[in-house]
Amino acid sequence: MNFLIPLIAFVAVVLTLMLGYGMWAYFFDPEKKAKKQRLDTIQNTIQPDRESFSNTRTTRVDSFLEIWLRPRSGIFRQLENLIERAHIPQSAIRIIGIMLALFLGALVLGLLLHTNPLLLLLLASAIASAPVLWLILQANKRTQAFENKLPEMLDFISRALRAGHSLTSALAEVGKEFPDPIGPELKTVSDEMAFGLPFKDALFRLAERVQSNDLSFFVTSLMIQHETGGNLSELLDGLANTIRERFKLRGKVRTLSSEGRASAWILGCMPFALAAIISVLNPQYMSLLWTTPQGKNLIYTCLGLMTFGVIVINKIIRIKV
């Protein structure tokens, strides 16, 4: 165990140097400042109609590290896609910097408290992964909000087509009339097609940004209709009804599985509640858990078994519809 402490210290020093270099490159690099000034000058001189397109995504200058990592690291590209799905105005390098800072802070605090090295690495890794978990939650929340409004969007497009509008103009109207997240995403699609991106590529980029099965059905339907023809209004009406029926079935499944979710919450919270109550009633009796080696081993074993149990219960109650 003793050899792990110098190893952790070495890793902490290396990560600190990398974090310092990344912050310098992001905020103080003269070449990057010059690029940003040139882009700002160009941005101020472009036409007003192009300003609406550029404002759909925050304009920023990619750092040298981003340009170097993007073709070489699949994990870095996945992180960028996750940030885009979550619609967060942060770069992947900044998120990585926050993760490194959290990791180093947890390491330093654990070393000061003389924490077990293996436990310290696990806790530091868990704390450092918090920004990624937050991004996943934000992306899932945005996808859920998109799916909830998707049937209404399909009905809107179907009525617009019956009124004589083209599909591209119908998508543009959706971008103007609907709130976030559907409105801005469809406005981005309309602007991309207006600036020359093919219809198929614009829709595929939309499906990649949102990551929704229902939206993938919509994009696939448009692709098939675009190649083979047919009554698009009836196709969209049928797809909207199918999605609404899936929502109803999903609600029934959620109701039937509510007992399993309640059991998971109760079984997961009960040990911590009992430990808190016993600690208040008899502190000396409970302190044996974290003051003796046997108690610490028991805590680690119980946490591992509880995690495994929560995963199993989550698999049982999660039914895909």
CA nearest neighbour of 160 among 171, 150, 151, 146: 171
Q: Tokens in use for 223?
A: 């692709």
pLDDT at residue 80 tops 60: yes
pLDDT of residue 7: 60
Q: What are phi and psi of 154, to 5 degrees?
A: -65, -40
- Degrees (nearest 5) of the Cα angle 127, 132, 138? 125
Q: Which whole number is the average pLDDT over 86-101?
A: 86
What does the mean pLDDT of the chain come to? 79
Q: What mean pLDDT is predicted for residues 158-178?
A: 88
199-214 tens-digit pLDDT:
888 888 888 888 888 8
Query: For the segment 16-64, what is each residue's pLDDT rounded down to a tens digit?
Result: 666 665 555 555 555 555 555 555 554 444 443 433 433 444 445 566 6
The pLDDT value recorded for residue 152 is 92
Look at 38-47, 69-78, 266-275 and tell me which has the smallest mean pLDDT: 38-47
| The residue to which tokens 């199918």 are assigned | 242
Give me the pLDDT at residue 40, please: 54
pLDDT at 27: 52
108-160 pLDDT, tens digit per residue, is 888 887 777 777 888 888 888 899 999 999 988 988 889 888 999 999 999 99
* pLDDT at residue number 23: 58
pLDDT recorded at residue 34: 58
For 229-251, the pLDDT digits (tens) are 778 888 888 889 988 988 888 88
pTM: 0.66
Task: Tell me the mean pLDDT in the region 153-169.
Answer: 89
**Maximum pairwise Cα distance, the chain:** 79
| Of 203, 240, 243, 246, residue with least CA distance to 224 | 203
Q: For the purposes of burial, counting CB atoms within 10 Å of the CB of 99, is it exposed (0-12), middle (13-18) or buried (19 or more)?
A: buried
Please state, as a whole number, how many other Cβ atoms lie within 10 Å of the Cβ of residue 291.
10
Q: How much is the pLDDT for 278? A: 87
Smallest CA-to-CA distance from 80 within 92, 88, 65, 67 is with 92
Tell me the domains of the chain and their CATH numbers.
Answer: 4-46+60-128 (no CATH), 146-255 (1.20.81.30), 257-317 (no CATH)
Per-residue pLDDT at 9 exceeds 70: no
How far is the C-alpha of 45 from the C-alpha of 24, rounded, in Å?
A: 30
User: pLDDT tens digit string along 276-300?
Assistant: 888 888 888 888 887 888 888 888 8
- Identify the DSSP state of 102: H
